[in-house]
Structure 1
Amino acid sequence: MAAPARRLVHPALFICDLQEKFRSAIYEFPKVVSTTQKLLKASKILGIPVFATTQLRAKLGETCPELGLDAPDGVLTKAHVDKSAFSMFVPELQKAFHELGPEKREVVVVGIESHICVTQTTLDLLREGHKVYVLADGVSSCNQQEVPIALARLRAEGAVVTTSESFLYECMGDAGIAEFRQMAGVVKEFSAATKENLSALCKF
């Protein structure tokens, strides 16, 4: 019998513009942060490379500190780039992303805003031939009505619109992988938060 193997071979996590100044403006912002925290814990266990951006950092602030990006006890990103473009896929981030290798990747996108930066990032990745997962419990906008419209468009464009738990289990693919026990611990740790996040962000 063959050894258990992960279902997704080349995943990557993109975190779009989760910054201090957006806390009071974005619909259910804390829920987006919570889902991102779950993805970051999983990324440490599974060795998923992380890419993050800020939008006009000098004006709109740093990435939220509770994400712990590039902190000594947090997750080291492959790139943590400031931008003025709406898409995350700016040259500095592209360079770091392409340094991972020539393989097409399974990129999971979380952050804001669903109809602007998340949409344009997803379209750019799809055009490069990558498979893109947009997490319905991990994206939002200032106006909540924008979210389902954006997700419907991205689904039509070829992105996979799914949830954080579904994506993590698809990453693993087999309960026999070495990391499964740790991953099950992450799912259990975030169980209550996941229910709350789904109720808030996936009720459209």
Structure 2
Amino acid sequence: MRIAMWSGPRNLSTAMMYSFANREDFAAWDEPFYAPYLKATGLDHPLAQEIIASHESDPISVANACLGSIPDEKPHFYMKHMPHHMIDGFPLDWASECVNIHLIRHPARVIASYGRKREQATLSDIGFQQQFDVYEKVGGLIVDSADIRADPRSKLEQICAEIGLEFDPAMLSWEAGPRRFDGVWAKHWYDAVHKSTGFAGAEGPLPDCEDQVELLEQALPIYEKLAKMKV
């Protein structure tokens, strides 16, 4: 089984990658289209040049590898993808050979979290419209990160059942620290998950995002459309 997990930034996506990778039967790949995206767009992201230099930056090669040999000869492959990395001209046909899962999070939480790591976000940065576009093209399962945090075992059991995978309790916890499959961007973005040993608990009230009201108003209707279809 090859899982393409689609998620915008600051959305439990790294914890989910660690969860699946903690199974003995899964290999993991961290945002394989990030380097091609940065090379093609020239965007000034943290560590951009190091990312391009350290990872495959040709989108065709990356797409081919998504369907190539699974690392460490594992039977299953978990690929963490960000929909906004899939710019025009990047191949997406490979995704039809994968189990596609779309991880969503309320945009107020995404905006507040993103702002603590980088400058104020744009709609393109947080990927809501791109995620909806990818969902329309490839279909798949929609899961809200809030539901996972509220009851990790129950939700992970449901996800596994939906995709025909046996649940493994190893998904519920992991050792603290980085992973060898982390992208080089981990040192900027993954400090919290590197300190974690499992999923954080349920979140508190929504942040007000008073300095990003327009962005919230743009993203919220897209999130709500996706949330209506979640499992």
User: Shorter chain as normaliser: what TM range?
Assistant: 0.3 to 0.5
Bigger Rg over Cα = 2
Comparing both structures, which one devotes a greater share of its residues to strand? Answer: 1
TM-score by length of 1: 0.47
